[in-house]
Amino acid sequence: MDKYSFLEIAALIGIFLVLFLALFLFTVKTKYKLANRLLAFFLFANAVDALKFLMRDFPVNFINLEAFRWSINYLVSASFYLYVLSICFSNFRLKPKHLLHAIPFVAFNLYLMSGIYFDDRAAKISFINAMSQTFTMQFFYFLFEFLFQIYFIASFLVIRKSKTIYLENYTNADISLLGALYKITILYYVLHFIVLLRWLVTFIFGWGEIRAWIVTLDGFAFLFCTCWYLFVALNNPEFFRGINSQFKSITDVAPKQKLSPVIDDEKNKQIESLKDFMIKNEPYLDCSLTIQDLAEQLKMPVKDLSTLINLYMNKHFFDFVNEYRIEKAKEMLKDPLQKELTIQEILYKVGFNSKSSFSASFKKYTGKTPSDFRKPSN
């Protein structure tokens, strides 16, 4: 069995898995329909593009379908960017303005109509043989690469922004899920880098043995990427619950002159008052507590509270609240009257909603796991 057979088998497995996952995402009943369908389209477009790994020769009997396969690539990076937006922002909705992302796809298909879609086979082949040297095709090559870089850079920025805003406004955020999304973005970016390498080798060495091995690497990378994404999706079925896109980072809303704040007597009083409120009223026991909820309880504008915690106390809201939860958990773990409570019961009582986030936070603040902390001192 030669490398081409291995490549075809890997491609077939990858395409099957991608299409199966896309079908599942499109049909499963869930409240995350938009995100699932955007991801399903992204995976479907990748599966269509992966058909190239099954071709040893140009498909002269299916030229129109092959041309359409070229064009669908102009939707791949845009669909991934929209998917990232739908994951990171809970209130994201598709609007008519998002149709602008389809303009390159439509423009490229209009170009193909002029020499492929409606001509006979001989004219199509003649057009294809000459198209790579035309200015128009060179422009579309450049446009594709430019858009890919823009969309994926934008995806990285959206993920980073949402993580910052989440930490400043929410508690019990499982940041590992955002990390998984970040890694998926990097993985698809690496996959594209292999495509760029294939283009470069083809340009320098032509359609030789080196290019054939890079195509094989590309095919196996596609299979690996698909399997890894399935692994992530199965381990994180809810993925990331998203933030409200109307929230802004504190660096965006705070006055520029206060980016290096000086804590005066008034701010000290506000900080002490906030700490007293947290100890007496224990709002942190609510696992779904947000900065809006706390601001309502304090009868304080959300912006002022966010500035006080994130800027003047130099803490994310996430860390600020979890410090109180950990202190409460430490008391309960050492309390002989509550020794019958399991660690899982305690984490729910102090406001956490997952064992992984509780364990990570507990070790961050104490240097020990909850089990080790509970053990009697020697």
Reported as a single tens digit per residue, the pLDDT across 15-42 is 888 888 788 878 877 666 888 888 889 8
Tell me, what CATH number does 375's domain have?
Answer: 1.10.10
**CA distances (Å), origin 297, targets 284, 285, 300, 302, 308:** 12, 14, 8, 11, 15
Statement to judge: residues 302 and 360 lie in one domain: no
CA 53 to chain centre: 27
Confidence grade of residue 256 (pLDDT, cut at 50, 70, 90): very low
> Has residue 304 been placed in a domain?
yes
- Residue 262: count of CB within 10 angstroms of its CB: 7
What span, in angstroms and rounded, lies between the C-alpha atoms of 340 and 343? 10
Convert the pLDDT of each residue in 40-75 to its tens digit: 898 888 888 888 777 777 788 888 999 999 999 899
Statement to judge: residues 371 and 337 lie in one domain: yes
pLDDT of residue 241: 47
pLDDT of residue 150: 93
Whole-model pTM? 0.73
3-state secondary structure of 25: helix
Q: Which of 211, 235, 259 is the last residue of a domain?
A: 235
3-state secondary structure of 243: strand
Contact 282, 233 (CB under 8 A): no
Statement to judge: residues 186 and 49 lie in one domain: yes
Instruction: Quickly list DSSP for 277-311.
Output: HHHHH-GGGSTT-BHHHHHHHHT--HHHHHIIIII
Structure tokens given for 252: 């965006």
Statement to judge: residues 266 and 287 lie in one domain: yes
Contact 77, 152 (CB under 8 A): yes
The pLDDT of 303-320, averaged and rounded, is 86
Range of the domain at 347: 323-378
Name the least confident of 134-138, 163-167, 321-325, 363-367. 163-167
Convert the pLDDT of each residue in 188-236 to its tens digit: 888 777 777 777 777 776 666 676 667 667 666 766 776 776 666 556 5
Residue 313 DSSP class: S
Contacts of 246 (CB under 8 A, 6+ apart): 91
pLDDT of residue 4: 55
Name the least confident of 204-208, 230-234, 305-309, 316-320. 230-234
pLDDT of residue 166: 77
- Residue 243: count of CB within 10 angstroms of its CB: 23
Statement to judge: residues 231 and 378 lie in one domain: no
> Has residue 333 been placed in a domain?
yes
The structural domain count of the chain equals 3
Structure tokens given for 52: 């190239």
